[in-house]
Chains A and B, each alone.
Chain A
Amino acid sequence: MLRRALRLGGGRGLVTRGPGSRGGGSTPDWDGKVSEIKKKIQSILPGGAWNPLYDTSHLPPEHSDVVIVGGGVLGLSVAYWLKKLEKRRGAIRVLVVERDHTYSQASTVLSIGGIHQQFSVPENIQLSLFSASFLRNINEYLAVVDAPPLDLQFNPLGYLLLASEKGAATMESNVRVQRQEGAKVCLMSPEQLRNKFPWINTEGVALASYGMENEGWFDPWCLLQGLRRKVQSMGVLFCQGEVTRFVSSSNHMKTTSGTEVTLKRIYEVHVKMDHSLEYQPVECAIVINAAGAWSGQVAELAGIGKGPPGTLQGTRLPVEPRKRYVYLWHCPQGPGLEAPLVTDISGAYFRREGLGNNYLGGLSPEEEPDPGNLEVDYGFFQDKVWPPLAQRVPAFETLKVRSAWAGYNDYNTFDQNGVVGPHPLVVNMYFAAGFSGHGLQQAPGVGRAVAEMVLEGHFQTIDLSPFLFSRFYLGEKIQEQVII
């Protein structure tokens, strides 16, 4: 009944004209003026961003409950799960601070986008399995009203890891753990390999493990944009700026055994704007360090690692940027459509890209290149990457490099696995960094774990306690059993 009246009223409005237009002069734009006045009143009222001296609309807000340093896939995943798991809608105000909105150096978009479950640490396998189901149902998780569904271009072809005689036992035990956790991985002998993939030269290969399902590669940029879109629709604020300072308050306390401990709480984050000296102090309750390759620097700003070495105060966050190259080449007689992502014994890997016989690949260098810039060294391909690949796949002897790029790996020098959870001394800084090349594939699970830690105080779904910061002080490494 109401709708009918509105429709009739609207219909009548179309037929008759407004009072002002009859006069021939300009219509006083009442609607526009009223909305302007409303905006001014709203900004003056407390809580609005009104500053009588100058325009501050480009600055981040003055208060935010959670500040996430870093807007890559890990930071956005934490923001998403924080908003998804909050008890009441709008309960938590989240601000994501990202230094570079073009993501030109972010590890997320420069990665090859692979996901696999062939780890030896059970928590890594569980994280990866959850990520696979997240990606499979991505249009239910990241649905935004009126926006088109996401197409991740997922290629479910799996990973093929090769092992020599020395590494065969490690591979078998790894596959046993993976099967226990629910990953669909099978072991293949060299003969089975030759039958299935005739383009492989199985000389030196004793065993291979092949992921049948939930493994493959996808488009990380699409995931990032999907997360960004969803997170913005959930009310998270974005800010382009650099975190330059943390202001914290200290609490001197004594432990039960009588030793003095200084606990710090960050209460203000200074966010500096791009190309200017202007900064905004953002008052916050929790800081999440998801700065990827630069997490170590952000942690130093908070005073982590400033203390006598060997103590908890002196334990740094051991994450540094490492440069990795990815090369794209064309090979007309190369492996066919069924080629998985093959990782050789030497560490060289490659995968198919598209339908046109193009391949992507690379190798972790023994001598680390200088991470100061993202210049590509083509000589590295000639000397170190091509020989093992050509030996493993004879068709690759005739290939032509089309292009290449370099990206950063947020390398954890301690045990090459991520850091998740709060710092023991800087009580309200939570880490979600240091995944050394696996950040993209573990992002959904890690985001959920950090959100659970922030909201509930403990891990609920996947227990990531082996990944806490305290292991750096206690010396407990969780290292992947590398297959040689």
Chain B
Amino acid sequence: MAAPRTSLRLVAAIWSGSTRGIHGLGGAAAPEGSQKKGKTLLQFLSDHFYDVEFLREYLLQRQMLKVHQENRFQNKEWIRPDERGRFPLEFSEFPGVPVEAVDASGCAINYDGLDNVLLLKELRSLSLRRCPNVDDWCLSHLHPLANSLQELSLAGCPHVSERGLACLHHLQNLRRLDISDLPAVSNPGLTRILVEEMLPNCEVVGADWAQGLNSEPEEQPQDRASPVHV
């Protein structure tokens, strides 16, 4: 069919900015078309509907492919990927240096992917903020890091509930735990209290004790003065 090829040509024309105006494009789409003036805009939009959709999806995919992963070595600074998502070449020069902190925020890491993180025996800080695939099963998988992990952040993970937080009791060296913005936790205030009881040496951040409690209405003093009112 001629349609795909014509649409590609039109897309190229839009990007290169060398359009000859609406009428010109309309003419390219339907060579023998005798378009009326009023119908041309609608015709143009319906012709290029799929082109615009394609463009939107392409841009969206480019955004999704940006996997943020930042790492920090012992006594060294964070090593971040450059704008193309590739790590610098000096990464391969550090095979023996232990990794201290991993920032996997926003990353699509899941249960099987965490197996790689668990190999890092000296990991001190793990950040799993806003990871869409981290759930209660993943948290129960973290127990091998019990000896070294001191800081853990789970802020904004949509699938983590209080049942997953309960199995963090294996991580007895944990000093700082961030549990803010967990939509799947049913009672954040009560959960924070129970987690603090469970991990006495750990500072739990992110959930307010009073969250979820309704404040009582204040006592009206004039009620006592007028007992007649029922």
Contact = CB atoms under 8 A, between A and B. Distances in A.
A338 B143 contact: no
B117 interface: no
A482 interface: no
B137 interface: yes
Contact of B166 (A7, A153, A338): A338
Nearest to B139: A156
A290 B165 CA distance: 37
Given A156-B167, A355-B162, A337 B195 contact: yes
Contacts of B70: none
Interface string B156-194: 000001111111011000000000000000110011001
| Chain A interface main SS type | loop
A337 B198 contact: yes
A154 B163 contact: yes
Instruction: Give the one of A4, A136, A158, A336 with max B CB within 10 A.
Output: A136
B123 to A, nearest CB: 18
A135 to B, nearest CB: 9
A156 B197 contact: no
Interface string A205-233: 00000001110100000000000000000
A248 interface: no
Contacts of B195: 337
B122 interface: no
A136 B137 contact: yes
B46 A4 contact: yes
A22 B163 CA distance: 63
Contacts, number: 55
B80 interface: no
Given A4-B46, A156-B163, A336-B197, A212 B137 contact: no
A254 B162 CA distance: 63
A279 B164 CA distance: 49
Contacts of B161: 153
B60 interface: no
Instruction: Give the one of B140, B143, B190, B191 with max A CB within 10 A.
Output: B140
A1 interface: yes
A153 B137 CA distance: 11
Contacts of A338: 166-167, 169, 198
Interface in A105-160: 136, 153-158
Nearest to A1: B3
B136 interface: yes
A355 B136 contact: no
A338 B167 CA distance: 6
Contacts of B165: 337
Contacts of A1: 1, 3
A156 B140 contact: yes
Contacts of B170: 212
Contacts of B141: 213
A4 B30 CA distance: 14
Given A212-B170, A336-B198, A154 B137 contact: yes
Given A212-B143, A213-B143, A355-B191, A153 B163 contact: yes
Contacts of B44: none
Interface in B89-133: 111
A372 B111 CA distance: 45
Contacts of A4: 46
User: Is the interface on chain B under 10, 10 to 19, 20 to 34, or 35 or more residues?
Assistant: 20 to 34
Contacts of A213: 140-141, 143
Interface in A293-343: 336-338
Interface in B185-214: 186-187, 190-191, 194-195, 197-198
Interface string A155-170: 1111000000000000
A142 to B, nearest CB: 16
Interface string A345-367: 00000000001000000000000
A308 to B, nearest CB: 53
A338 B194 CA distance: 9
Contact of A355 (B111, B137, B164, B190): B190
Contacts of B143: 212-213
Contacts of A155: 136, 163, 166
Given A355-B190, A355-B191, A337 B166 contact: yes
A212 B167 CA distance: 9
B187 A154 contact: no
Nearest to A184: B143
B140 A337 contact: no
A355 B3 contact: no
B3 A337 contact: no
Nearest to B199: A338
Nearest to B146: A212
A398 to B, nearest CB: 19
A274 to B, nearest CB: 38
Contact of A337 (B46, B111, B136, B194): B194
B212 to A, nearest CB: 11
A158 B140 CA distance: 10
Contacts of A157: 163, 166-167
A355 B187 contact: yes
A213 B136 CA distance: 11
A4 B1 CA distance: 15
Contacts of B198: 336-338
A155 B186 CA distance: 14
Contacts of B140: 156, 212-214, 216
B155 to A, nearest CB: 20
- Please provide the 7 A-B residue pairs with the shortest distance between their CB atoms, ordered closest to farther: A156-B140, A338-B169, A337-B194, A155-B163, A337-B166, A136-B137, A156-B167
Interface of A: 1, 4, 7, 136, 153-158, 212-214, 216, 336-338, 355
15 contacts: A1-B1, A7-B46, A136-B111, A136-B137, A154-B136, A154-B137, A155-B136, A156-B140, A156-B163, A212-B143, A214-B140, A216-B140, A337-B162, A337-B194, A338-B166
Given A337-B166, A337-B169, A338-B166, 20 more contacts: A4-B46, A7-B46, A154-B137, A154-B163, A156-B136, A156-B137, A156-B139, A156-B140, A156-B164, A157-B166, A157-B167, A212-B140, A212-B170, A213-B141, A337-B165, A337-B197, A337-B198, A338-B169, A355-B191, A355-B194
